[in-house]
Structure 1
Amino acid sequence: MTGPVDEGSRVDGRSPVDPGRRDLRAALREAARLLAAAGVPSAEHDARALAAHVLGVERVEPALAPTPPASFFPVFAALVERRCAREPLQHIVGSAPFRYLTLAVRPGVFVPRPETETVAQLAVDEARRLTAAGRTPVVVDLCCGTGAIALAVATEVPGAVVTAVDASAEAVALTRENARACGAAVPVVHGDATDPRVLADLDGIVDVVVSNPPYIPPDAVPLDPEVRDHDPALALYGGGPDGLEVPRGVVARAAALLRAGGLLVVEHADVQGAGMRDAVARLGAFEQVSTVSDLTGRDRMVVARRVGDHGADGT
């Protein structure tokens, strides 16, 4: 566990929490104030999350929480200081929630975001639809990161056959770790998700290809330090002047993987809807090409079906 902060690194020249105090509510208020001053947008939430992490509990309710031990305060102070420096909360606590899962997170692997839960929902819905029709859905998650989407489908649709792919060895190792933790039998392949040789044995038999690929253009460096300074470039920048080189490769690979009527779901930035629809349509392999919004109403994913003769159940 991290020790007390160094005096030279303290926000406003002092510790976020006076280790001599034993008032949790006062400590949380001061931590939230300092986090807000450092530009953290979710200051109160993060203060409580850090306190819960130190206390080893799921959440902290200040009005109901017992007086913590004296050892809590210096440790809490150190973690608040790290968050004030804009180190991602998920890196500090070592995990991130995603739908019904709590995933291990570590530096070097893209941190899953809430908006991707909507992307996962479409894959889950399609897998459930096929299961209800008596099919065993085959699902592939390209550019899996922590394994968030793949593991959401595997755990929410029992019986689905799910495979994950990522070009990052760190991401592959972390997805495997997360799969073991949630009891999901998900093979994870280390490889370029756009390479025709990757998962070639699944060509033409996949029901759902879902992906949250890198898609940021080279000149659109993220403003948030948590993203810019901590998420790996491999998972952020999609290549090409519009950032869509990798997403186009993912779409092309999906065209080979999917069976007739199979579903494609690919996340993108809210300004890339037209570009992604065009990329999918230009292949001539998809129909019903559309843009779907996330829960905030922003355009966040392209959805399409593989062209071919197919019945109502996707066969």
Structure 2
Amino acid sequence: MRTLGEALRTAAARLEAAGVASPANDARLIAAHLLGCAPLNVALHTREAVPEGFDLLVDKRCSRVPLQHLLGTAPMGALDLRVGPGVFIPRPETEVLAEWAVRQRPATVVDLCTGSGAIAAYIAHELVDASVTAVELDPGAARWAARNLEELAPGVNLVIGDATDPGLLPELHGGVDLVVSNPPYVPETGELEPEVYRDPHMAVFSGESGMDVIEKMVDLIHALLRSGGRTGVEHDDSTSEAVQQVFLDHGGFGEVRVMRDLAGRARFVTASKL
């Protein structure tokens, strides 16, 4: 009998050869998913038979199908969001923006380009009395967001709309405490990890500079916020200065500041409405 321990070692070697960044961890997470246990408890099963489907999922991961697609979920703080083909997979760095948002203690929040609903669900989960609206343009992604928000944060209002339309959500104009966004921001390129290209193109890329959506959404952010209201926007680590300049050039924002991600990279810009 081939044991799970043997299969894990073989899988880690195969995943490493395929260029997967965290081969042993991915193999363990696949095993935990099939066993229905916590990843730390996989060690308790290493002398047992290999769970059915393990080799198939390892094969798919070797072909660089995102691990989150194989598991069906992606973590966001204490939440597990349902994800799959057709929706952007939340990244760990976005938790920094979500945590910052919660620390502002807003009563009214708008999450632009919500994707899977990750930031909106996180805020609503942490601030149960907050009024949260999530906006998504892509109908496919919005279906994932609707499912996640129904399960994790049923009070969130999901709106199908364009974050670059300055007239969106007119009923909220001038009354929002906080606007957050993880918009598409990657410059058009063919040099990223294969997993990135499994995300919807419109959720990842934003023109040659990566700035197209951010440049166009600043007017809506300003319209939504009350005087003194705050905003936080995630961006590519190569465009921090450009994003800061967008808010400075607008003329309606002050306190334009840089916030860094878990790796110390300039990844977010925050500002307040004058």
- Shorter-chain TM-score tier: over 0.9
Q: Aligned pairs, how many?
A: 274
CA distance in 1, matches of 2:257, 2:40: 42
Shift of 1:196: 2.3
Shift of 1:93: 0.8
Shift of 1:26: 1.0
Which position in structure 2 is the counterpart of 1:224?
Answer: 193
Q: Is the 8 A contact 2:68 2:83 kept in 1?
A: yes
CA distance in 1, matches of 2:158, 2:68: 23
Counterparts of residues 210-249 of structure 1 (less than 5 Å): 210-218=180-188, 220-228=189-197, 230-239=198-207, 241-249=208-216
Matched, 1:25 2:40: no
Which position in structure 1 is the counterpart of 2:19?
Answer: 39
Matched, 1:118 2:87: no
Gaps of 5+ in 1: 1-19, 131-136, 308-315
Matched residue SS, 2:81: strand
Q: Is the 8 A contact 1:28 1:47 kept in 2?
A: yes
Shift of 1:180: 1.6
CA distance in 2, matches of 1:168, 1:121: 25
Matched, 1:279 2:257: no
2:115 to 145, 161, 175: 145
Which amino acid in the other structure matches residue 65 of structure 2?
E
Q: Is the 8 A contact 1:155 1:184 kept in 2?
A: no
Shift of 1:68: 4.1
Q: Is the 8 A contact 2:210 2:236 kept in 1?
A: no
> Which entry has the higher C-alpha Rg, 1 or 2?
1
Which amino acid in the other structure matches residue 222 of structure 2?
A
TM-score for the superposition, normalised by structure 1 = 0.84
Matched, 1:99 2:77: yes
Which position in structure 1 is the counterpart of 2:150?
Answer: 180
Summarize the Cα distance change of 1:63–1:172 in structure 2 as closer, same or farther, 3 Å threshold: closer
CA distance in 1, matches of 2:78, 2:43: 27
Q: Is the 8 A contact 1:273 1:301 kept in 2?
A: yes
Identity of aligned residues (%): 45
CA distance in 2, matches of 1:223, 1:271: 14
Shift of 1:69: 5.0
Which amino acid in the other structure matches residue 265 of structure 2?
R
Shift of 1:245: 1.3
Which position in structure 2 is the counterpart of 1:64?
Answer: 44
Shift of 1:58: 2.8
Summarize the Cα distance change of 1:68–1:180 in structure 2 as closer, same or farther, 3 Å threshold: farther
Deviations 1:27-66 (A, max 9, x none): 1111111101100001011000101111122325343226
RMSD of aligned C-alpha atoms?
Answer: 1.4
Gaps of 5+ in 2: none
TM-score for the superposition, normalised by structure 2 = 0.96
2:233 to 263, 266, 276: 266
CA distance in 1, matches of 2:149, 2:243: 30
Shift of 1:106: 1.0
Q: Is the 8 A contact 2:178 2:229 kept in 1?
A: yes
Shift of 1:197: 3.0
